[in-house]
Amino acid sequence: MLFKTVTLLLAIGAVYVAAVPTPTEIETEASMINLLLNTPAMRADVYNVDCMEHYTPLLKGHVDKYTDDFNACQYKYDNGQSEIDESFKGARDELTISVKDTCISLITCDGKTSNSDAFDCLAIWGPSASKELEQASYKATDNNTSLKRKVSEIEQTRAICQTEAHRTYIKNHGECYNEMISCLNDPDWDIPTTDSAL
């Protein structure tokens, strides 16, 4: 009996050492627990079979809640990231127009019929075009730095949100799991009549 309990505890232990597991990883753990709980060995001996029927859906409920909470964190991040990206569209469009105009002024030099006229054109417009492109480069760098800083902030918010979802899952799932283990080891355990374990 002790060996079975230790095996089950080791199976669950993988959930506790992961940083912030994805819902898929949690679902895998839950499937493994269900498989272990429904083996003939677990249903034999002195194990209280009613415990499995009562606690398995409760444990699954905690997995489902974690999945919903984790996905809500990701959804909020995805929307925030899209909004941030969209907020820089005007700055990008402005730079694009500026760069195109500058480049067109230089490209027109290529249309000159004589080499001397082409050289004169580039000599006249080249320095100012170079300054314009340099300014565009500075603005692009500033905008990109600002965009990345804002995305980094919401990435931190997402990490905090997912960590909190995981902590809540660990606490609630762990309490429910401990009750199930106590129930499995006690044939006289009184199964709760309400879903208070959720």
Residue 89 and residue 117: Cα distance in Å, rounded?
A: 38
Residues 6+ apart with CB under 8 A from 21: 15, 29, 166
Q: Please, what is the average pLDDT of the chain?
A: 82
pLDDT exceeds 70 at position 143: yes
The structural domains of the chain, with segments of one domain joined by +, span 2-184
pLDDT digit string, tens, across residues 118-129: 999 999 999 999
Question: Cα–Cα–Cα angle for 49, 51, 52, nearest 5°?
Answer: 75
**Predicted pLDDT of residue 186:** 77
Residue 14 and residue 18: Cα distance in Å, rounded?
A: 7
Share above pLDDT 70 across residues of the chain, in percent, rounded to a whole number: 76
Instruction: Find the mean pLDDT for residues 156-166.
Output: 96
pLDDT digit string, tens, across residues 1-50: 434 443 343 344 433 434 577 777 776 666 656 655 555 555 555 566 77
Does the predicted model carry a pTM greater than 0.85? no
**Predicted pLDDT of residue 28:** 66
Which has more confidence, 189 or 90?
Answer: 90
Instruction: Find the mean pLDDT for residues 161-184.
Output: 91
**Predicted pLDDT of residue 137:** 95
pLDDT exceeds 90 at position 157: yes
By the 8 A CB rule, do 70 and 158 touch?
Answer: no
pLDDT digit string, tens, across residues 39-87: 555 555 556 677 878 888 999 999 999 999 999 999 999 999 999 999 9
Burial annotation 49-86 (CB, 10 A radius, 16+ → b, else e)? eebbebbbebbbbbbebbbebbeebeeebeebbeebee
